[in-house]
Amino acid sequence: MKKGIFLIFMLVPFICISCSSGKTKISHDFDHGSMGELKEIEPDYFKGTTKHWIKNDSIGDQYYWFYIKTDQVKDKTVTFELNNLVGVYRGKEHIVFTDYTQPVYSYDRENWYRITDVNYDPSGHTFIFSETFTDNTAWIAYAHPYSYSRYKEFISGLQDEENVTTETIATTEEGRQVNMVSITDRDVLTDQKKVILIMALQHAGEDAGGYFVEGMIDYLLSDNPEADNIRKNYVYKFLPMMNPDGIFGGISRYNAEMEDLNNIWMNDERAQEEVSGVKKWTNKWHDAGNSLDLFIDVHNHSQYHKYHAFISQDYDLDSLVNFMNQYWIIRSLHSEFAGSSCAWFLSKDISCGTIELSQSKINDNEYLTIEDYNQYGEGTVKAISEYFSMHKTTEPE
């Protein structure tokens, strides 16, 4: 008995030492991680700024994306004060933080929760947020992060699907692949099928597009009879991650060459492999006598705007938005595209539009979740089918 009591006594100090929380540690040297300099000015109060990324023409300064890992934070309330939250977009002041910006945190990088203790000072462009953590390690990001490793895992999981083919259409400056995923019923001839091309994550930090595309793909590959019918009548082609270097590097908006990919489609002198690969594929696809009936480029508003938008020059696509509105709230806007992916596809007489997703909330409703973006993707597939079915029945003979 005395020996057993002695052993228990000896173990108690060891257990207490191993459970000690210790000093809070912060890092961002991982896939999609990003942060500028942070200093602990008092215990568990960190002050600094997000990393500012300067465009290669020196007239763009993007700063909003941050993604960090915190260790030794169990039962601690940790506060972050971010300053210098003004950037430059197309030569104009760019502000995306607000008093309703709510970052996200996770203990497992699968389940994400909003940080609600936030304060934004517009006069000094300072954003302060705090959270009390219940686990020792937590990840914190500007919005729901969609990492390069998650993308690779998702693509790998599609390899054994009978209705899926994948191909590489470009290799980036840092050696990562830009993949195209095609989904259709290969037992049905394709010459009468509508062909839809969906692009996402052209801008790093606009991560909701990754979950949106996952929702589209998951629905298309489901056992739902409606999805089966869509596979028989459509060819869906996805570019799920146009900017893998920017995503992996935790860059705000740009690729590894500090280029805004969506600004160079009409300018071959500023060509980047990601964009050139898509243009070459499209020209080859058309030269082979194939059609391309609709192109959609999926972007994000950041957390500034509290609405989703479908932006196009084609007023006929307003009816597509009406169908989309049956599944999720989105408004139709019209704009003249200059230099963008849509500008290039319009030059090829291909119907196109850009989706802008909010990363905060819609109006004063609940803050958006990954599941919301998945559902938007599913609803968009259904809406596209209904849109083309309507046009098929109303076209003159």
Q: Which pLDDT does position 138 carry in this prediction?
A: 98
- Which of 80, 115, 141 is the last residue in one of the domains? 141
Is 355 in the same domain as 323? yes
Residue at token pair 């089966």: 228
| pLDDT attached to residue 189 | 87
Task: State whether 235 and 377 are in the same domain.
Answer: yes
Shared domain check, 45 and 174 = no
Residue 38 pLDDT exceeds 50: yes
**Contact between 28 and 67 (Cβ < 8 Å):** yes
Residues 155, 159, 163, 169, Cα dihedral to 10°: 60
Separation of alpha carbons 224 and 385, rounded Å: 14
Same domain, 126 and 273: no
Tokens found for residue 35: 């942060």
Single out the residue in 117, 141, 165 at which a domain terminates.
141
Residues 77 and 160 in one domain: no
Query: Does one domain contain both 158 and 136?
Result: no
| pLDDT for 206 beyond 60 | yes
For residue 393, pLDDT over 80 is answered with no
Q: Could you write out the three-class secondary structure of the chain?
A: CHHHHHHHHHHHHHHHHHHCCCCCEEECCCCCCECCCEEEEECCEEEECCCCEECCCCCCEECCCCEEEEECCCCCEEEEEECCCCEEECCEEECCCCCCCCCEEECCCCCCEECCEEEEECCCCEEEEEEECCCCEEEEECCCCCCHHHHHHHHHCCCCCCCEEEEEEEECCCCCEEEEEEECCCCCCCCCCEEEEEEECCCECCCHHHHHHHHHHHHHCCCCHHHHHHHHHEEEEEECCCCHHHHHCCCCECCCCCCCHHHCCCCHHHCCHHHHHHHHHHHHHHHCCCCCCEEEEEEEEECCCCCCEEEECCHHHHHHHHHHCCCCCCEEEECCCCCCHHHHHHHCCCCEEEEEEECCECCCCCECCHHHHHHHHHHHHHHHHHHHHHHHHHCCC
Q: Answer yes or no: are the C-beta atoms of 345 and 295 closer than 8 Å.
A: yes
Rounded distance, CA 266 to CA 341, Å? 8
Mean pLDDT is lowest, of 26-40, 184-198, 235-249, for: 184-198
Same-domain check for residues 171 and 194: yes
Same domain for 326 and 224? yes
**Angle subtended at Cα 153 by Cα 207 and Cα 105, rounded to the nearest 5 degrees:** 45
Tell me the per-residue pLDDT of 274-312, one tens digit each, with 9 for 90 and over: 999 999 999 999 999 999 999 999 999 999 999 999 999
Residues 66 and 210 in one domain: no
Q: What is the pLDDT of residue 336?
A: 87
What are the C-alpha distances in Å from 189 to residues 165, 185, 235, 281, 285? 15, 8, 10, 21, 16
Residue 133: inside a domain: yes
Query: Whole-structure pTM over 0.95, yes or no?
Result: no
Tell me what the mean pLDDT of segment 204-218 comes to: 98
Residue 374 lies in a domain: yes
pLDDT of residue 213: 98
| CATH code for the domain in which residue 325 is found | 3.40.630.10
What lies within 8 Å, CB to CB, of 17 at 6+ separation is none
Q: Which of 48, 26, 37, 205 is nearest to 126 (CA)?
A: 48
- Whether residue 16 is contained in a domain is answered as no
pLDDT > 90? residue 230: yes
For residue range 46-90, list pLDDT tens digits in order. 999 999 999 999 999 999 999 999 999 999 999 999 999 999 998
Confidence category of residue 191, pLDDT binned at 50, 70, 90: confident
Query: Domain range holding 192?
Result: 148-394
Residue 135 and residue 265 in one domain: no
In the predicted structure, residue 262 carries a pLDDT above the cut 70: yes
- pLDDT of amino acid 190: 83
Q: How confident is the model at residue 391 (pLDDT cuts 50, 70, 90)?
A: confident
- What is the pLDDT at residue 192? 87
Mean pLDDT of all residues in 224-251: 98
In the chain, the percentage of residues whose pLDDT exceeds 70 is 93
Q: Which of 141, 164, 195 is the last residue of a domain?
A: 141
Window from 5-9, 139-143, 259-263, 322-326 with minimum mean pLDDT: 5-9
Mean pLDDT of 323-344: 95
What is the per-residue pLDDT for 21? 59
Residue 266 has pLDDT above 60, yes or no: yes
How many whole angstroms separate alpha carbon 47 and alpha carbon 51?
A: 13
Cα(97)–Cα(299) distance, rounded to whole angstroms?
17
pLDDT at 20: 39
Mean pLDDT of 125-134: 98
Strand partners, 198: 238, 296
* Claim to verify: residue 134 and residue 184 sit in the same structural domain: no
